[in-house]
């Protein structure tokens, strides 16, 4: 999850319905729940060992297999027997409820943004752990494991089924592929989805920032910088197009709901004295408003066409170059309901720990179910995360048990705690 780029405050204060406050307070004071809280707190070092072990298994985009296998083993070691890895690499572990009328899923994405060759060795400085991916989202997976261990240790039962998911493909060009697979047509029904991915303990992501992503490739015959001078140049076309896009997109972004655009990667060419055969770039645009996102999309496509036309018009010899605009990412805008039982229970659980709940929208796995009108939120992984998506990413173990305890309350409220 890219919180800095996508997080956006909810403008209106939303009150917590007293019904949910009462429900969560009653749940929190149950003896079995208090015992589970104590277990979660006592597992601090065990949780951190799990975090280090998982983080040191590389899980690049589309290369999560090794980590998937270890997460599946950890679910089994925690006490579950119905554990599988699905067709796309998601780890799915089921904990049956007494009635099984509904299925409440908790997910933590196991992929990272980093390529396979990245050194993911964890270094420790006091209570701070340093490594690419350590917070986003290795810690999120550990929250699930710790919660599950507490349930198993105290034999806490629920009326509804619990599904624990270590999902693939949240980051970058993964395009939420793991969650899209879980919510594909004809898939087993998931009634509620709770993602664990980032943010402070007081934050509830209840809506989704949408995004379109493109890989744009300008193509031509290439040639010698001197001998073929005057031919259309794919790099020059990309430069023209990207400049036009940035100028026009800035106007779109300056008005109305927050909307962003970014050219994240550029490549192509063979040498300094060669006209390149191709020039490519990857573009990301985001908004929490469908109309603004589509407006940005239209501006982008027109800029690509105009940049191509300008470069072809400027050539003094040779044939025209072409452009291929390929969509590589499509995350739907998702409008959540702050009055829903899930959001209200999450807010009440946060409030029960003396925190002031903050509603946010962001780009997370919850985008998919929310966009389909289904209950879903994203909650905190706990501790203090910094430097996400950087090689110096850190996670600090400061009161990390609180996020797990909050997650437990939300999960048991949704799955309906079955008293002994």
Strands 103-109 and 192-196: parallel
Q: What confidence tens digit (pLDDT) does each residue in 43-53 have?
A: 999 999 999 99
pTM of the predicted model, to two decimals? 0.94
Residue 116's SS3 state is coil
Q: Are residues 34 and 59 in the same domain?
A: yes
- Quick one: average pLDDT of 230-258? 98
The percentage of the chain sitting over the pLDDT mark of 90, rounded to a whole number, equals: 96
pLDDT at position 3 over 50: no
Q: Are residues 175 and 274 in the same domain?
A: no
Query: Of 331, 361, 384, which one is at a domain's C-terminal end?
Result: 331
How much is the pLDDT for 4?
Answer: 39
How big is the chain by its Cα radius of gyration, in Å?
24
Q: Are residues 265 and 383 in the same domain?
A: no
pLDDT at position 2 over 60: no
Q: Are residues 309 and 198 in the same domain?
A: no
Residue 253's SS3 state is helix
Count of C-beta atoms within a 10 Å radius of residue 111: 27
CATH of residue 38's domain is 3.40.630.10
pLDDT at position 351 over 50: yes
- Quick one: average pLDDT of 164-186? 98
Q: What confidence tens digit (pLDDT) does each residue in 57-82 have?
A: 999 999 999 999 999 999 999 999 99
Q: What confidence tens digit (pLDDT) does each residue in 176-214 have?
A: 999 999 999 999 999 999 999 988 999 999 999 999 999
CB 63 within 8 A of CB 174: no
How much is the pLDDT for 1?
Answer: 57
CA 168 to chain centre: 10
Domain that holds residue 165: 3-209+333-418
- Quick one: average pLDDT of 226-253? 99
Residue 111's SS3 state is coil
pLDDT at position 12 over 80: no
How much is the pLDDT for 199?
Answer: 86
Count of C-beta atoms within a 10 Å radius of residue 281: 21
Mean pLDDT of the chain: 96
CB 195 within 8 A of CB 376: yes
- Quick one: average pLDDT of 332-345? 98
pLDDT at position 98 over 70: yes
pLDDT at position 11 over 80: no
Q: What confidence tens digit (pLDDT) does each residue in 129-161 have?
A: 999 999 999 999 999 999 999 999 999 999 999
Residue 320's SS3 state is coil
Query: Of 331, 357, 392, which one is at a domain's C-terminal end?
Result: 331
CATH of residue 294's domain is 3.30.70.360
CB 324 within 8 A of CB 279: no
How much is the pLDDT for 197?
Answer: 97
- Quick one: average pLDDT of 389-402? 98
């Amino acid at each position: 999850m890219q919180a800095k780029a996508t997080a956006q405050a909810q403008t209106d204060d939303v009150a917590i319905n007293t019904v949910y406050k009462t429900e969560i307070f009653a749940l929190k004071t149950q003896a079995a729940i208090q015992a589970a809280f104590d277990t979660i707190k006592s597992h601090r070092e065990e949780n951190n060992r799990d975090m280090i072990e998982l983080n040191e298994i590389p899980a690049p985009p589309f290369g999560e297999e090794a980590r998937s296998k270890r997460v599946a083993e950890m679910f089994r070691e925690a006490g579950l027997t119905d554990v599988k890895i699905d067709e796309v690499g998601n780890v799915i572990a089921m904990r049956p409820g007494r009635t099984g009328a509904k299925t409440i899923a908790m997910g933590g994405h196991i992929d990272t943004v980093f390529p396979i060759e990245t050194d993911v060795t964890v270094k420790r400085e006091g209570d701070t752990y340093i490594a690419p991916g350590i917070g986003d989202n290795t810690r999120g997976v550990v929250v699930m494991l710790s919660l599950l261990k507490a349930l198993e240790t105290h034999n806490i039962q629920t009326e509804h089924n619990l599904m624990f998911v270590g999902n693939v493909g949240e980051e970058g060009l993964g395009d939420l592929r793991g969650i899209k697979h879980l919510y594909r047509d004809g898939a087993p029904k998931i009634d509620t989805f709770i993602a664990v991915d980032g943010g402070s303990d007081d934050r509830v992501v209840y809506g989704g920032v949408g995004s379109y992503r493109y890989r744009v490739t300008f193509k031509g015959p290439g040639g010698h910088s001197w001998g073929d001078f005057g031919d259309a140049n794919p790099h020059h076309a990309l430069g023209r197009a990207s400049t036009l896009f940035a100028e026009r997109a800035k106007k779109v972004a300056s008005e109305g709901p927050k909307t962003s655009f970014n050219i994240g990667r550029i490549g192509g060419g063979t040498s300094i004295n060669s006209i390149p055969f191709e020039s490519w770039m990857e573009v990301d645009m985001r908004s929490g408003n469908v109309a603004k996102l589509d407006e940005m999309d239209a501006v982008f496509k027109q800029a690509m066409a105009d940049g191509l036309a300008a470069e072809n018009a400027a050539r003094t010899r040779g044939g025209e170059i072409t452009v291929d605009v390929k969509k590589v990412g499509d995350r739907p805008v998702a409008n959540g309901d702050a009055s829903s039982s899930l959001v209200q229970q999450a807010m009440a659980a946060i409030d029960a720990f003396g925190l002031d709940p903050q509603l946010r929208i962001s780009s997370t796995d919850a985008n998919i179910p929310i966009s389909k009108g289904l209950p879903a939120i994203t909650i905190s992984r706990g501790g203090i995360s910094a430097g996400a998506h950087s090689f110096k990413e850190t996670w600090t173990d400061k009161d990390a048990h609180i996020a797990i305890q909050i997650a437990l309350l939300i999960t048991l409220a949704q799955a309906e705690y079955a008293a002994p």
